[in-house]
Amino acid sequence: MSRLDALKTRIKEALPGLECVIGWQKGYDALHNTPLFIRGEADVDKLEWGALNVHNPAVYLPSFAGKKVGVVVKGCDSRSVVELLQEKLIDRDNVVIFSAGCDGVVDIAKVRAKLAAAGLSAGNAEKVTVDGKTVTVTAAGKAVSMPLAEVAADKCLRCQFPNAVLADAFVGDPAPQVQAAPAADADLAALDAMSVPERMAFWRYHMDRCIRCYACRNACPMCVCRDHCIAQSREPHWLSQEDSVTEKLMFQVVHAMHLAGRCTECGECQRACPMDIPVLALKKHLNRTIHDLFNYQAGVDVAAIPPLLQFKLEEDNIKERSW
């Protein structure tokens, strides 16, 4: 039985006891899948499993507070579920986690670039097939094959969790680990190599096209302030309505700081950005700092308390007394 069929079987069994099960289905064209909310048995057959399931469905879980829901997750998505559980933002008894091994998802921006290089537009995609390690996209009647490794999301290239870290129904064989140790992060390496003024210029250049839609925030499963975010509140009025790079960057810094030690690097902030702004790097930088200081990784252990949600008189790696 395929992973997809096995998932469908398990979901059908559990559905009568659940408000809904969140997964993915085909979207408006061949290149886009879209989140699916399964509320009846007929919806189960719409479920998809594969490289186009780019979204992180954990983002919807806190909005179902008090209701029992199912969620289908990739390995990376499962870390968001775990982090939500760690922070007691969702209740373990109210979530049923379905999963299967994940062989990686595509980065649609990379597919778009590959097609553009072949003189084609992703906006004309007619057919997409993923066969093992190759993605073939047909656009305007022409088929273009590309290795999955070249169009996979960056997170997939360094993935340490191709299988869910927590699941109630894990179907099929686990997916193989991408590699033993994570490769160095290219985005961070590029930023590290810049001088401080160069780095500021980099961010000013990119943030200049921010439209303040807050897709980065709303697609983030850990952004749980939701309707009460300081970006839009009048009291306190922390951010000006002025359309300036400084204000836009200020919000990104607030967002990143709020996620320090909580972010699982699912990359939804960056994927959601309609203006292709590389906002994930800010969170990755803080995660690296958290890892160095506290030897901690978010969303892998339900029992762990995130380092910035607890207080220790003396941290092991912060030698305040010798300052």
CB 310 → other proteins: shortest distance, Å?
30
- In terms of CB distance, is 234 or 319 closer to other proteins? 234
- 124 lies in the site for other proteins, by CB under 8 A: yes
- 235 lies in the site for other proteins, by CB under 8 A: no
- 147 lies in the site for other proteins, by CB under 8 A: no
Sole window of 36-44, 97-105, 178-186, 309-317 interacting with other proteins (rule: CB under 8 A)? 36-44
- 93 lies in the site for other proteins, by CB under 8 A: no
- In terms of CB distance, is 174 or 274 closer to other proteins? 274
- 274 lies in the site for other proteins, by CB under 8 A: yes
- 34 lies in the site for other proteins, by CB under 8 A: yes
- 138 lies in the site for other proteins, by CB under 8 A: no
Sole window of 81-89, 130-138, 207-215, 252-260 interacting with other proteins (rule: CB under 8 A)? 207-215
- For 71, list phi and psi in degrees, rounded to 5: -145, 135
- 224 lies in the site for other proteins, by CB under 8 A: no
Q: Which two tokens stand for residue 187?
A: 């985005």
Name which of 109, 274, 278 is nearest 186 in CA terms: 278
| Helix, strand, coil fractions of the chain, as percent rounded to 5 | 40, 15, 45
Sole window of 75-83, 211-219, 283-291, 293-301 interacting with other proteins (rule: CB under 8 A)? 211-219
CB 312 → other proteins: shortest distance, Å?
36
Give the CA distances from residue 102 to residues 132, 159, 160, 172, 300, in Å, rounded to whole numbers and listed in that order: 12, 10, 11, 11, 17
Q: Which two tokens stand for residue 243?
A: 């359309």
Give me the helices (H) in 136-185, please: 148-151, 154-157
CA distance 323 to 318: 9
CA distance 175 to 73: 14
The one among 241, 310, 317, 322 contacting other proteins by CB under 8 A: 241
Contact criterion met (CB below 8 Å) for 283 and 256: yes
The one among 4, 224, 230, 275 contacting other proteins by CB under 8 A: 275
Q: Which two tokens stand for residue 64?
A: 């179902």
The set of residues, in sequence order, having a beta carbon less than 8 Å from that of 222 and lying 6+ positions away, is: 80, 83, 84, 259, 262, 263, 264
- 254 lies in the site for other proteins, by CB under 8 A: no
Sign, CA torsion 87/88/90/93: positive
- 206 lies in the site for other proteins, by CB under 8 A: yes
- Please report, as ranges, the residues that interact with other proteins according to CB under 8 A: 20, 27-29, 32-37, 39, 55, 59-60, 109, 113, 121, 123-125, 205-206, 208-209, 211-215, 217-219, 226-227, 232-234, 237, 240-243, 268, 271-272, 274-278
